[in-house]
Amino acid sequence: MGAPVSLGDVSELKSEDDKCRLFLVTAEDTPEALMRVLGVASVQQVRLRALTARPEGADIAIRLEIDDQGDDRAQVLAARLASVPVVRGVGHGWR
């Protein structure tokens, strides 16, 4: 499990004026952790632009870049991610 998982980055296809939000999620490194985090993103109907996940000790670090949908939506997504049982911490900001 040493190599990072990356599902691509299409940021070079977007104009520089498009803003992305970056979410950094730390979760227990369990088989379902990544799918639980992605499930929340799917239910919240975010447009995922880049994803990386890599183990860090007993945890997994998940980095999500999504299209910006405003501060309110970002706060809701952060709260929903933080409520996932395997999630230990959530941070977010601009990319």
Question: Which is higher by pLDDT, 13 or 32?
Answer: 32
Share of the chain above pLDDT 70, in %: 82
Pick the more confident residue, 95 or 74. Answer: 74
Give the chain's mean pLDDT: 87
pLDDT band for position 1 (cuts 50, 70, 90): very low
Determine the pLDDT at residue 10: 46
Q: Is the pLDDT of residue 12 over 60?
A: no
Give Cα 63 to chain centroid, integer Å.
5
Q: Residue 13 above 50 pLDDT? A: no
- Asked if 70 and 92 touch (Cβ cutoff 8 Å), the reply is no
Per CATH, which fold does 19-94 belong to? Alpha-Beta Plaits (3.30.70)
